[in-house]
């Protein structure tokens, strides 16, 4: 609740994902001014809201988190600790202006012939008349195209057109160059006095999510097509890179994302229990050619949809869509992580065939369906050209989330669920596998970091070791997959190594087998695989393929091998041959 010491309350805030612009001019005085920020307990506020509006079902963390618009992983997850941080996590600053650019929308539209139209819309902070100069520049700063914009009542727009081949296209890594242009806007009053300026970097690309019938199999494809080329997406899921977000420097973001490119990956999924990442994250993805799958920040829960909650959701969605929509790397926006799965598992009121726009989902015990199917798509479609997907996983076409023939799939029947042998990945495929994984210990140096000087705790089942693995039943599950595949020892060096080899073989096998399902146009039976997960938020044993200190595990390298342009693999099938003349015929 920010309040200047000058004695005037500016606002009471309630959403970590929203930037607040507060008028302070009339409260300022000559000399020193103080701004006082007070932070009540978000945990206690969540408990109060839960008592007033009801308790929802969830996986991971305290149920009160569902009412608080903050990073949900702070309440603890099956890979992270409970650390409810508080305080300003982004800069606070004073801005002075007469008229400012309140909104700049740059919409790049590329048709099938690859001709380009760049639509630019400007909204000023007040309804004044003005003029603007629009310039499209290349990487060297050379002006390629210009346009003059007349602004009336604070609004103005213009379009820049280019023939196919006139501008270079932006491509995902491995398919071409990541060419970026700058759209520069200078606004002046009618007398020519500068008022404000703003620039955005854009990429020119045509991106579609194709959901077409397939040859010889039930269901539809779920694939990404860029500049008329269909892309197999091999990549990772991303969680916040630290339990304390202000620890993450720009260089650290770049190092993480460069690791993905160096590992032959081309897509990253920003998971819905974390944060809408800062601009440096998406800027780097643009530069490196990493496609971004973006979730809204809802994860593993039965979220509410009362009026005040919806207002908070609407504000955060509009702000973040406007902030991110110009990035060429941003390929898809999903409404949540696994909330439909929670609804299915809890047998909530969920009829996938109910597409009636008049249905009031807020009156059901799955009220957040109103958010995912009404609120989010209306805002995203109004303010951007981003493809919206209701959730992850989500099948569509009236199918449940575990359907393997439509939409995207979280395949957790290795490790979780039925705990299948990892050799069965080919039988567990989906049209687009947006989560799957296997645990493995981190680098032995990372293990020794958390053990510290207490050498008595340096064995697999010690209290310290167990405290650095947050997954339910991890002891039995690790041992199940180890015993099925290895004759292993229990000294810590050996145990760490065998879990790493197991993780490496498990994940490599998945990529190898699922890439076999990418068989040409009309036969893209599996169009992508995103491993859970690339990173950790603290030193821990988890599903990550690179540990908290950016030390790759062997799985990182085995995945890199399988995501080369060409890889060789085979699978074992049980075949019974019948020979009437052989005595052992069965």
Active site positions, annotated: 338
Query: How far is CA 513 from its chain centroid?
Result: 25
CA–CA separation, 553 and 547 (whole Å): 7
DSSP percent split of the chain into helix, strand, coil, nearest 5: 25, 25, 50
The Cα–Cα gap between 253 and 281 comes to 6
2 beta partners: 37
Contacts 24+ apart (CB under 8 A), 5-10: 5/33, 5/34, 5/35, 5/36, 6/33, 6/34
**Does residue 563 contact residue 263 with C-beta atoms inside 8 Å?**
yes
**Helices and strands (DSSP H and E) totals, the chain:** 12, 22
- Vertex 504, ends 502 and 508: CA angle to 5°? 120
Nearest to 266 by CA among 183, 173, 353: 173
What does the block give as tokens for 262?
A: 């160096």
Q: Which residues of 345-379 are buried (b: 16+ CB within 10 A; e: fewer)?
A: eeebebebeeeeeeeebbebebbbbbbbbbbbbeb
Continuous segment of H or E residues that includes residue 288: helix 279-288
Taking the C-alpha atoms of residue 497 and residue 484, their distance in angstroms, rounded to an integer, is: 16
Cα–Cα distance, 359 to 366 (Å, whole number): 12
Q: What are the strands of the beta sheet with 143-151, ordered from one edge?
A: 143-151, 130-137, 181-188, 194-202
Cα–Cα distance for residue pair 154/121, rounded to 1 Å: 11
| Chain position carrying tokens 């202006």 | 97
Distance of CA 324 to the CA centre of its chain: 12
Q: Report the SS3 class of residue 542.
A: strand
**Helix 492-515 vs helix 474-485: crossing angle, to nearest 10:** 80
Is 549:454 a contact under the CB 8 Å cutoff?
no
Bridge partners of 546, per DSSP, are 552
Helix/strand/coil for 188:
strand
């Amino acid at each position: 609740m920010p309040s200047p010491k000058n004695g005037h309350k500016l606002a009471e805030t309630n959403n970590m994902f929203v930037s607040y612009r507060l008028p302070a001019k009339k409260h300022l005085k000559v000399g020193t001014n103080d701004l006082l920020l007070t932070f009540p307990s978000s945990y206690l506020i969540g408990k109060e809201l839960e008592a007033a509006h009801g308790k929802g079902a969830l996986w991971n963390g305290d149920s009160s988190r569902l009412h608080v618009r903050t990073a949900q992983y702070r309440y603890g997850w099956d890979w992270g600790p409970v650390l409810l941080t508080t305080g300003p996590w982004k800069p606070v600053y004073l801005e002075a202006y007469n008229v400012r650019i309140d909104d700049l929308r740059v919409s790049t539209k590329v048709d099938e012939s690859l001709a380009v139209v760049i639509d630019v819309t400007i909204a000023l902070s007040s309804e004044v008349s003005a003029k603007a100069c629009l310039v499209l520049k290349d990487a060297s700063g050379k002006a390629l195209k210009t346009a003059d914009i007349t602004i009336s009542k604070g609004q103005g727009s213009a379009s820049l057109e280019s023939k196919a081949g006139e501008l270079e296209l932006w491509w995902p890594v491995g398919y071409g160059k990541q060419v970026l242009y700058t759209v520069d806007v200078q606004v002046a009053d009618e007398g020519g006095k500068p008022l404000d300026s703003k620039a955005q970097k854009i990429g020119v690309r045509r991106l579609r999510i194709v959901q077409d019938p397939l040859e010889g199999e039930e269901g539809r494809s779920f694939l990404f097509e860029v500049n008329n080329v269909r892309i197999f997406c091999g990549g990772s899921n991303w969680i916040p890179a630290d339990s304390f977000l202000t620890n993450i420097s720009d260089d650290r973001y770049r190092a993480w994302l460069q690791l993905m490119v160096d590992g032959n990956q081309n897509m990253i999924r920003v998971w819905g229990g974390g944060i809408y990442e800062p601009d440096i994250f998406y800027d780097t993805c643009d530069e490196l050619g990493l496609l971004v799958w973006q979730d809204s920040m809802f994860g593993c829960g039965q979220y509410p949809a009362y009026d005040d909650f919806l207002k908070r959701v609407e504000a955060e969605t509009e702000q973040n869509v406007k902030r991110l929509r110009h990035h060429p790397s941003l390929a898809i926006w999903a409404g949540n992580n696994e909330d439909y799965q929670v609804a299915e598992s809890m047998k909530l009121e969920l009829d996938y065939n109910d597409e009636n726009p008049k249905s009031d989902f807020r009156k059901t015990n799955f009220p957040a369906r109103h958010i995912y199917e009404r609120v989010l798509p209306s805002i995203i479609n109004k303010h951007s050209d981003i493809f919206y997907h209701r959730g992850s996983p989500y099948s569509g076409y009236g199918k449940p989330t575990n359907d393997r023939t439509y939409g995207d799939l979280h395949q957790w029947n290795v490790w979780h669920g039925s705990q299948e042998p990892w050799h069965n990945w080919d039988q567990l495929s989906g049209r687009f596998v947006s989560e799957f994984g296997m645990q493995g210990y981190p680098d032995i140096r990372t293990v020794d970091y958390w053990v510290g000087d207490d050498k008595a705790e340096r064995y697999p089942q010690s209290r310290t070791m167990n405290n650095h693995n947050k997954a339910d039943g991890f002891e039995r599950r690790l041992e199940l997959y180890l015993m099925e595949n290895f004759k292993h020892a229990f000294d810590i060096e050996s145990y760490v190594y065998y879990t790493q080899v197991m993780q490496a073989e498990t994940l490599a096998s998945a990529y190898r087998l699922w890439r076999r399902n990418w068989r040409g146009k009309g036969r893209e039976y599996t169009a992508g695989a995103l491993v859970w997960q690339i990173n950790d938020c603290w030193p821990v044993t988890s599903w990550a393929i690179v540990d908290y200190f950016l030390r790759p595990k062997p799985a990182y390298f085995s995945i890199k091998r399988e995501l080369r342009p060409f890889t060789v693999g085979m699978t074992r099938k049980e075949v019974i041959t019948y020979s009437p003349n052989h005595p052992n015929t069965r």
